[in-house]
Amino acid sequence: MTYNLESFGGAGGNYDNSNAFASALHAIKDSGGGVLKIGKGVWRTGPIELFSGTTLDLDEGAVISFIPEPERYTPVWTRWEGVECYGMRPCVFASGQENIQITGKGAIDGSGEAWWKIASEKKGRPQTTPETPIEFELARLNPGFEKQPGGGGGRACQFLRPPLLQLFNCKKITLKDFTLRNSPFWTLHPVFCTNLVLSGLKVFNPHDAPNTDGIDIDSCEDVLIENCNVSVGDDGIALKSGSGEDGIKAAKPTCRVIIRGCTVGDGHGGIVIGSETAAGIHNVLAENCVFKGTDRGIRIKTRRGRGGKIRDLEFKNLVMENNLCPLAVNMFYRCGAKLEDGLFTQETLPVNDATPSIKNLTITNIKASGCRASAGFIAGLPEAPVENLRIANCEFSTDENSRVSPAESEMYLGLDEVDEKSVRLINVKNPAFEGVKVTGPGRAFIYG
């Protein structure tokens, strides 16, 4: 059965459609499934929840616009920066549901500017403890949050901004053709999901919008991402699997993922693995994609304490233009940690469950031009070097007129700096290079 929002009291313009959305979506739930059509116009609302059997169909010119008032986004059990906890309710949320579709040429808009302004103000002071009623409530619900790992998004003060669209423990999900934009935090975030198809999506956030990853696939299995266009303020398309002890305990890897035909513009990375890697990430194929102006192209980031086995990743037929660094593999990732934490020493430390590892990485038919910081950065751990790295039939050319330092190739701590924009390798075990051309720097490779 097909429903429209007006039948439940909905109206465009400045009207608050929260009750209309809730009534319509519960009617679909009660009838065992159906379609909610959203017509042309702006439909303002608070957070909405989807149920099994729901299709949300967005006409061209339709915009679901979320009201940026933090008190509306009441706490819900979720995963936030790799840790299961209570966080602010996502703008669009589904938990434990199946057979959900969102389709059409319309848009879902998170009204993120107000959220980014608050986040920047808190970080600028910096705020290190809860202050507002909702932050105190999240602190109460999350005992021990002070010791939980984070990536710098706001865990210390419990300003746990909502993602724009989160699917938690769901299966058989299809998202097709619509636009996601102006997210308060991570934009599209499936967690513990299976059988996902993401096709033809457009994901847009300003390049300076904090922590606004495009697509974050988090402890999910059997995922297809195809023909998507992403330009955001953080990583473009990222694969994750939980952080530290919490992610190790959950033991739910991300695996069997295909990414093809996608374009990524602004962002910290094109296709990214990590930095939340605790349960492992394996069996990933990324092919026929274009990264224009992203800070990094292929990006793998983790560190001691994150944990996880990263295995069997293949990247092929990729075009990269004007990146800082086209290929970055970084096991000294700094965000959310400090040098004094002891995570970044170049000494060989004992291996334990929280020691990440990277093995079986194949990179073929890459053309990267205008690399501003370096042609590549690959850094394993002394106790867990990168193993079975193969790079074949690739061309990397650097912009030697760029004044960007090679130190900007990746966000690392604890490593010495170099002067040349070469492919830099640290703690890499028996790498294999076949038909690799590096033009620009004096030396093609720097080993350390």
Q: pLDDT tens digits, residue range 127-157?
A: 999 999 999 999 999 999 998 888 878 899 9
Work out the pLDDT band at 417, boundaries 50, 70, 90: very high
Residue 422: Cβ-neighbour burial (10 angstroms; 0-12, 13-18, 19+):
buried
Between CA 274 and CA 294 the distance in angstroms is 16
- Cβ partners under 8 Å of residue 197, min gap 6: 173, 174, 175, 176, 224
Residue type, 203: V
Residue 151, pLDDT score: 80
Instruction: Using the predicted structure, report yes or no on whether residue 1 has a pLDDT greater than 90.
Output: yes
Instruction: Please state the rounded mean pLDDT for residues 406-431.
Output: 97
The Cβ of residue 8 has, within 10 Å, a number of other Cβ atoms equal to 18
Residue 174, pLDDT score: 98
pTM: 0.97
- pLDDT, tens digit, 9 for 90 and up, residues 341-353: 999 999 999 999 9
- For 116, the token pair is 């980014």
Residue 149, pLDDT score: 85
Beta bridge partners of 38: 58
Work out the pLDDT band at 36, boundaries 50, 70, 90: very high
Beta bridge partners of 202: 179, 229
- Please choose, from the candidates 350, 207, 354, 225, the residue with its C-alpha nearest in 3D space to the C-alpha of residue 288: 225
Work out the pLDDT band at 448, boundaries 50, 70, 90: confident
Work out the pLDDT band at 356, boundaries 50, 70, 90: very high
Residue 54, pLDDT score: 98
Q: How many angstroms separate the Cα of 95 from the Cα of each of 68, 185, 352, 360?
A: 22, 19, 33, 34
Residue 186, pLDDT score: 98
Instruction: Using the predicted structure, report yes or no on whether residue 96 has a pLDDT greater than 90.
Output: yes
- Beta-strand relationship, 423-426 and 445-447: parallel
Helix, strand or coil, per DSSP, at residue 209 = coil
Work out the pLDDT band at 117, boundaries 50, 70, 90: very high
Q: Which residue has the higher pLDDT, 47 or 150?
A: 47
Q: What is the mean pLDDT of the chain?
A: 97
For the chain, domain boundaries: 234-448
Between CA 210 and CA 102 the distance in angstroms is 26
Residue 325, pLDDT score: 98
Instruction: Using the predicted structure, report yes or no on whether residue 214 has a pLDDT greater than 90.
Output: yes
Hey, which residues are catalytic here?
Answer: 234, 268
Of all residues in the chain, what percent carry a pLDDT higher than 90? 97
Residue 273: Cβ-neighbour burial (10 angstroms; 0-12, 13-18, 19+):
buried
Work out the pLDDT band at 118, boundaries 50, 70, 90: very high
Instruction: Using the predicted structure, report yes or no on whether residue 120 has a pLDDT greater than 90.
Output: yes
Residue 111, pLDDT score: 98
Helix, strand or coil, per DSSP, at residue 133 = helix
Instruction: Using the predicted structure, report yes or no on whether residue 252 has a pLDDT greater than 90.
Output: yes
- pLDDT, tens digit, 9 for 90 and up, residues 269-288: 999 999 999 999 999 999 99
* Residue 445 CA, distance from chain mean position: 30
Work out the pLDDT band at 406, boundaries 50, 70, 90: very high
Instruction: Using the predicted structure, report yes or no on whether residue 20 has a pLDDT greater than 90.
Output: yes
Residue 311, pLDDT score: 98
Between CA 10 and CA 15 the distance in angstroms is 8
